Amino acid sequence: MNDTTTMQTDLDRLAERVEKAATSVQQLREDRARLGLENETLTRRIAELEQKLQGQDPAAMLDELNVLKREQRDWQTERRDVASRIETLVRKLERIEA
């Protein structure tokens, strides 16, 4: 009876381990499927972005962006200068009219 009980306990442990292994395998399969879908999505997005950037050199785009920023600063400076001149002229006109 003792051998039967021991054998039953060993079989129960083995059954638990097999069930845990089966659960783990199922979870891994689900994870693999999910990751496969994510991989397909990301691959498709990369292809779309590459197509949008096709023929555009990132270094050249950065250079162009820097040039545009510099031009923007120049225009802002010129705008402030013109506003200052207009204010000066308005003050002079007010003194003349007074």
Does 16 share its domain with 49?
A: yes
At 10, the pLDDT band (50, 70, 90 cuts) reads confident
Beta strands in the chain (DSSP E): none
Both structure tokens of 31: 């994870």
Q: Residue 26 corresponds to which amino acid?
A: Q
Classify residue 98 by its DSSP letter. Answer: -
Please state the domain count of the chain: 2
- Residue 1's domain spans which residues? 1-55
Q: What's the pTM value of the predicted model, to 2 decimals? A: 0.46
Whether 40 and 87 map to the same domain: the answer is no
Report the C-alpha gap between 42 and 29 in whole angstroms.
20
Q: Is the pLDDT of residue 19 over 60?
A: yes
Tokens representing 96? 């003349």
Residue that is written with structure tokens 């129960």 in the block: 12
Residues 47 and 63 reside in one and the same domain: no
* Mean local confidence (pLDDT), 11-40: 93
Per residue in 64-90, pLDDT (tens digit) is 999 999 999 999 999 999 999 999 999
Identify whether residues 1 and 32 lie together within a single domain: yes
State whether 36 and 65 are in the same domain. Answer: no
